[in-house]
Structure 1
Amino acid sequence: MSTSLYPSLHKHSLSLPLESGITAADYTDQYWRSLYYFNCFRFVIGSGLLIVSWQSEFASLGSYHYQLFLYAGIGHVLFSSLFMLLIRLRLPGFNRQLAIQVISDIAFFSLMLYASGGLQSGLGVLLLVSLAGAGLISRGRLALFFASIATISLLLQETYSLWTIDHYAAQYSQAGLLSMAYFAVAWLAHRLAKYTLASEQLAKERGIDLANMAQVNQLVIQDLQEGVLVVDQYGYIRQRNAYAERLFDLNSSADKAERLKLSDCIPELANRLTSWQGDSSISFDLLRLAHSNALVRTRFLPIQADSRNGVVIFLEDMGRIQAQLQQLKLAALGRLTANIAHEIRNPLSAINHAAELLEEEQLESNTDPRLVRIICDNTRRLNKIVQDVLQLNRRNIAKPDLIDLHEFMRKFLEEFCHAERMDRNVFVLRSPNHHWVSFDRDHLNQVLWNLCRNAWRHCCKQADSVRIELSLAANENNVYLDIVDDGPGIDSQQVKQIFEPFFTTAAGGTGLGLYIARELCETNQASLDYIEGSSGGHFRIICQSNQSCL
């Protein structure tokens, strides 16, 4: 039921475009259904009178003119049968059909009343039932009109009986009382219809208000920065927000159209819910989702006092929370490193300038040139550290772009080998398919440059010594980019330290290359790991696959 169909209800409800589940067509169907049942009642009454009139103990029915009574009864039954078809066709309109049926009842019952000898037959009471039913069906609008027609017909029948039936004792007082009963029933039906309409109006308002509240709740749930699932007492998911759909891959239109059972689509979460319902004080470890490998913290809140009557499940993606904390940490670290780098660069410039002056004067003096070279080398090393630190401070500014890894790696290897003057045959790209990812091109270029330079340094420098392998993860949500070389690998005792800042095993290295590479990957919602193997380890970048471009 849209609020636009009932403008008078807007002042009682929020002005939101809602559907409360009942439409105007539903109320139209209810009216016609009531008229159909009323007509069935008329058919039963008419048929019953015909059957009863054949029994000798009810000789008063049709006692004066049985043939007229029979014709009137048959006409009433046929008329009722005809209207069963017209009601299904809904022709003519509702009010017109109701008026025709009630007036036909008055006419046929008046004829049967006359054929049975007048009011003493008791048939006049049957009109009370018809008037009451008509008043309720019409919501009281025509009840008094029908009562007036019935009263006029009753008085005319009584007068005509007095003129045509010999020795007929007129019963105007009884006719008057029966007419008063007609109006009383019509008035009661009118009042009852008003109460019914008021109840319907109130039900409509409450329905709109409840629908508004439901939509407001849904809007609030959708706006939450965590996943929300509302599960009923039978284990079915009644509501969910977009964040939960992304976490559990429930965003298909088919899933939204049908009721999902928690145990069918998320069995690991259903097991936790069952355990929590048995003991609400229990604490759970982080839940790792099988399809996305994400870590989720679960929180259960009962809808009512009894947790088995429904529960709200809150789902926090720890990866997102950790990313936010990482951003805050890096923002503070960035400000600190920028200040430190600035303070280092000023005296460093002075040292470098002094070293240059010493180098110019070494020919005129006996100064050992090694000392000057040591000063210059360490000055350049410190300057490289300062540049890396400043670059690390700017690394959180990412401009992700859709990248075809196959084409990107092909062009990168050509550029890298040309710039570093390396043999192109040492590097081989293995990518049977095209894989699209979202990544900042400059960041990815910097990460690969660092990793490929390390691979070149430690490989045997033969054909295909360094392999770049692209593959799709088993869950089809991630893409693996592996940089594999035929070198000895990293010592197992040093693996845990390689991503720490300022850790290096190379002479003259700054120890920031792998640390910055991992930070750049995390900025682009990716990860950089070292994978150990039996024949030596290799580095792996895990990116989120953008399957819409595949």
Structure 2
Amino acid sequence: MASDSPTSTARSPFGPHAKYQQARLFRIYNHYRLVISILLAGLLFIEPFMAETKFRWLDTYQVGALLYFAVNGFIALILLAGFHPRQRHITLSVLADILIIHGLLLASSGITSGLANLVIVSVAAGNILAPNRLGTFYAALATLCSLGISIWATLTLHASADDIVRAGSLGILYFAAAFVLQGISKRVIRSEALATSRAKSIAELEQINQQIIQRMRTGILVLDRFGQIRLANAAAEEMLFEEAATNPYGMRQARTLPAPLKDGLDIWLHDHHAKIEPFQANPTSPLLQANFTQLDQDRGDQILVFIEDMSKVTQQAQQMKLASLGRLTAGIAHEIRNPLGAISHAAQLMEESPHIDPGDQQMLDIIRRHSKRVNGIIENVLDLSRRRMANTELVDVRAWLSDFCSDFQQTQAESAPATIELLIEGKIPGARFDTSQIEQVMVNLCDNGLRYSEQNTGERKIQLLIASTADRERARIDIRDFGAGIAPEYRDSVFEPFFTTDKNGTGLGLYLARELCEANQAHLSLVEDDQPGCRFRITFAHPGRMI
């Protein structure tokens, strides 16, 4: 059997969905034909029916009825086996119906038989399954067959001429059914095509919306009135939850709101105009701001929550602060560094005097040490004010950290050897940051770690751990020292400017480190665990969701 040509396929009025509907309708029509053929075959075994019905050729009628049953039974079996009929198969089935039923009419009592009504159903089914010129052909073929049988019976069997009139009336009925059903079917096809097109557009729009929502830096949550999470985008998962969203078996876990956000929700439910204070979802997360609104204004049973990372606001505030600080530091450099330089120089000249007693020498040491400390403060403030905008790039964090360790150890080897233990956990995603600024942060944290480790253990040793966050989409670096650690009452103050527990420190190192991290949309935090020493963590932003 020849395959369908491209031309016939292109001219088909049926799209993929309509072809599916066409095959489904053909199956229903074949069920009808099977039932009819079973009835016709079954009536052959009922003696009163055979006695009261006049047959021109009984044997031919019986063979035709059994043949009709066999054809329909075979088609039903192959359809049940999963056969997908094409247009040519449907056309052949309708043509066979029209011809076989007219053959049964010829073998029975002619056009006056009740079997003629079955032809109307076949023509109607053909026009539903093929609402085009082929449907008109079915009506024309059925009309010609009916007229042919009537004319033949009138000429050869001297049947009544009324049979010809009846055949003509049936022909008009065939064409009327064809035209009416063609119009209805075409309208249905156009409606289905329009509905399919709109459904596709809606699906594409929904997919685009999902992509936009998932790529947004703003976290979006949909909650019920009891705080149960119905929907959360990737940014919300990133900002609110430390744990992985799936368990080890890959099943989605139920999320519960962090306690600060749940408290904010309760406040908002009692007063929709209440101001929700910024919060931290966990000790290592950035400062977040939540805004609530009702998703359904009429029912109010779902709540839409927008979670904003305050890093963007912080960045804007930093730019304003740096502009003011730049003007201030110009005065500092002139008004403080010049007198400070004079003090340091005078102290140096006094040290060169051969008549200095031990008490004066101790005073000079204090002057020199504190002059150096004040100069360090000025240098840090100047560095902060001169800081340029972060020039971020996509970085292979694993390779970058390995190079940093090698370079840092080489610089430390000039003064005192340092041991850096580098640990790598699993596959590390990339990150976007300014390498020079993050290197400055790492140098600050590593220097502090080596100093405190040496003070506590006598060994200059730190541990660097690089891993991914729980969602496997962001990189993080942990810097651990083996010092005495930070007392619990001081943990909330370590990043404040000018706070220090070292009498020789300036108190600006960690503050400057966090400022540089925030400029790169990373977050620097102090992690609490049961291990000795301090553990600082740099959590980088998602490389694909930069502000």
Decide: shared fold, TM above 0.5.
yes
Structure 2 residue aligned with 1:44? 35
Q: 1:316 Cα shift?
A: 1.4
- Name the residue aligned to 1:416: 412
Secondary structure of 1:127's counterpart equals helix
- Structure 2 unaligned blocks of 5 or more: 1-8
Higher RCO (CA < 8 A, seq sep 6+):
2
| Structure 1 residue aligned with 2:327 | 339
Cα gap change, 1:74 to 1:208, in 2 (>3 Å):
same
- Residue of structure 2 in register with 1:172 after alignment: 164
The count of corresponding residues between Structure 1 and Structure 2 is 499
- Distance in 2, matches of 1:215 and 1:434, equals 34
SS of the counterpart of 1:501? coil
Q: Does 1:324 align with 2:312?
A: yes
- The structural deviation recorded for 1:127 is 0.9
| Paired residues of 1:60 and 1:117 also in contact (CA < 8 A) | no
Task: Give the 5 Å matches for 1:201-350.
Answer: 201-229=193-221, 241-244=233-236, 246-247=238-239, 249=244, 264-268=253-257, 280-281=269-270, 297=290, 299=292, 301-303=294-296, 305-308=298-301, 311=302, 313-316=304-307, 320-321=309-310, 323-348=311-336, 350=338
Alignment of 1:89-104 (within 5 A): 94-104=86-96
Alignment of 1:183-198 (within 5 A): 183-198=175-190
CA contact (8 A) 1:60 1:116 kept: no
Partners of 1:501 and 1:512 within 8 A in 2: yes
**Kept after mapping to 1: 8 A contact 2:329/2:381:** yes
Match among 120, 125, 129 for residue 137 of structure 1: 129
Contact 1:43 1:80 (8 Å CA) reproduced: yes
| 1:506-529 alpha-carbon deviations (Å, 9 max, x no partner) | 666544344334544555624354
Q: Equivalent residue of 1:63, what SS? A: coil
Provide the aligned C-alpha RMSD in A.
5.3
CA distance in 1, matches of 2:514, 2:449: 11
How far apart are 1:409 and its partner, in Å?
5.5
- Residue 515 of structure 1 is matched in structure 2 by 511
Measured after TM superposition, the shift of residue 445 of structure 1 is: 1.1
Q: Distance in 2 between the 1:491 and 1:90 partners?
A: 74
- Which of 27, 30, 40 is the aligned partner of 2:18? 27
Distance 1:531 1:92 in 2: 65
Match of 1:501 in 2: 497
Partners of 1:513 and 1:414 lie apart in 2 by 22
**CA distance in structure 2 between the partners assigned to 1:377 and 1:291 by the alignment:** 36
**Identical aligned pairs, as a percentage?**
23
Distance 1:407 1:81, change over 3 A: same
Whether 2:150 is the aligned partner of 1:150: answer no
Paired residues of 2:376 and 2:506 also in contact (CA < 8 A): yes
In structure 1, the partner of 2:524 is 527
Partner of 2:154: 162
Closer, same or farther in 2 for the Cα pair 1:90/1:135, shift >3 Å? Answer: farther
Question: For each residue in 1:347-395, what CA deviation from the matched residue of structure 2 results, as whole angstroms up to 9, or x when unmatched?
Answer: 44654676699799999xxxx9979969887765544332121112245
Which is further off, 202-211 or 142-151? Answer: 202-211
Q: CA deviation at 1:132?
A: 1.0
- The answer to whether the 8 A contact 2:23-2:85 is kept is no
Counterpart Cα distance in 1 of 2:530 and 2:72: 89
What code does the residue aligned with 1:527 have? L
C-alpha distance after superposition, 1:212-261 (max 9, x if no partner): 4323433442453212356899x999876442454555599x97xx9x6x
Q: Give 1:539's match in structure 2, choosing from 521, 534, 544.
A: 534
Q: Quick one: distance in 1 between partners of 2:530 and 2:163?
A: 113
Aligned match for 2:64, one of 69, 72, 77:
72
Q: Quote the Cα distance in structure 1 between the aligned partners of 2:151 and 2:143.
A: 12
Deviation at 1:432, TM superposition (A): 6.7
For residues 179-226 of structure 1, what are the alpha-carbon distances to aligned partners after superposition, in whole Å with 9 as ceiling and x for unaligned? 222222222212221221222232123223322432343344245321
Distance 1:63 1:474, change over 3 A: closer
TM-fit CA distance, 1:84: 3.9
Identify the residue that residue 442 of structure 2 maps to in structure 1.
444
Q: Which residue of 2 aligns with 1:483?
A: 481
The structure-2 alpha-carbon separation of the partners of 1:520 and 1:244, relative to structure 1 and needing over 3 Å to count, comes to closer
Tell whether the 8 Å contact from 1:154 to 1:175 is kept in structure 2 after alignment: yes
Taking the aligned partners of 1:165 and 1:113, their CA distance within structure 2 comes to 14
- The residue type paired with residue 61 of structure 2 is F
Q: Distance in 1 between matches of 2:420 and 2:171?
A: 102
- TM-score of the superposed pair, with normalisation by structure 1: 0.71
Q: Is the 8 A contact 2:398 2:466 kept in 1?
A: no
Q: Which residue of 2 aligns with 1:18?
A: none
What's the CA shift for 1:313? 4.1
1:159 & 1:109 partners in 2: Cα distance?
17
Distance 1:389 1:37, change over 3 A: same
Q: Distance in 1 between matches of 2:486 and 2:31?
A: 91
* Residues in 2 aligned to 1:493 and 1:174: alpha-carbon distance in whole angstroms: 106
Query: Do the aligned residues in 2 keep the contact of 1:468 with 1:482 (CA within 8 Å)?
Result: yes
Where structure 1 has 5 or more consecutive residues not aligned to the other structure, the ranges are 1-5, 8-22
CA deviation after TM superposition for structure 1 residue 304, in Å: 6.7
Q: Secondary structure of 2:482's match?
A: strand
Partner of 1:110: 102
Q: What is the 5 A alignment of 1:358-397? A: 382-394=374-386
CA distance in 1, matches of 2:345, 2:279: 63
After superposition, the C-alpha distances for 1:410-430 in whole angstroms (9 at most, x for unaligned) are 8646643643xx5x5xx7656
CA contact 2:37–2:65 (8 Å) conserved in 1: yes
Structure 1 residues 441 and 71 mapped into 2: Cα distance closer, same or farther (>3 Å)? same
Letter in 2 for 1:41: Y
Corresponding position of 1:468: 462
Higher alpha-carbon deviation: 150-159 or 101-110: 101-110
TM-score normalised by the chain length of structure 2: 0.71
**Residue type at the aligned position of 1:540:** R
Q: Give the secondary structure class of the aligned counterpart of 1:485.
A: coil
Q: Distance in 1 between matches of 2:182 and 2:237?
A: 53
What is the deviation of 1:138? 0.9
Find the aligned partners of 2:174 and 2:287 in 1 and give their Cα distance. 75
Q: Describe the shift of the 1:142–1:334 C-alpha distance in structure 2 as closer, same or farther (beyond 3 A).
A: same
CA gap 1:83/1:520 in 2 versus in 1, 3 angstroms? closer
